[in-house]
Amino acid sequence: MIQLTDSAAKRITAQLAKRGKGVGLRVGVKKSGCSGWAYVLDYADEVAADDAVYEAGSAKVVVKLEHLDKLDGLTLDFQREGLNEAFKFINPNVKAQCGCGESFAV
């Protein structure tokens, strides 16, 4: 299961409205960095048979089933800190992160 904070759900809804199309935010992983995996975010314009969909209010997160072993239990948050704003990943599966925070190991 993937959970969204209210802040993340509002941001996803606003971005899709601004874009004018899409069903949700696609969250995935790819092999990358010194620790092994990195998060990948993109717009989801459709839901495929091999996708899982998680909803919070009107916001949806779409995840390929093959990525769930690394993302199950994830909480997606959106935070603003001064002039910076970004999605934050709270993932109970992470065993280690690289020093720069760009990649993780499970």
Residue ranges of domains in the chain:
3-105
Span 8-32, pLDDT tens digits: 999 999 999 999 999 999 999 998 8
The two three-digit tokens of residue 95, written as one number? 């065993």
Opening angle at CA 26, ends 59 and 51, nearest 5: 95
CATH of 3-105 among 1.10.1060.10, 3.40.50.10490, 2.60.300.12, 2.160.10.10? 2.60.300.12
Span 66-83, pLDDT tens digits: 999 999 999 999 999 888
The two three-digit tokens of residue 54, written as one number? 């998680």
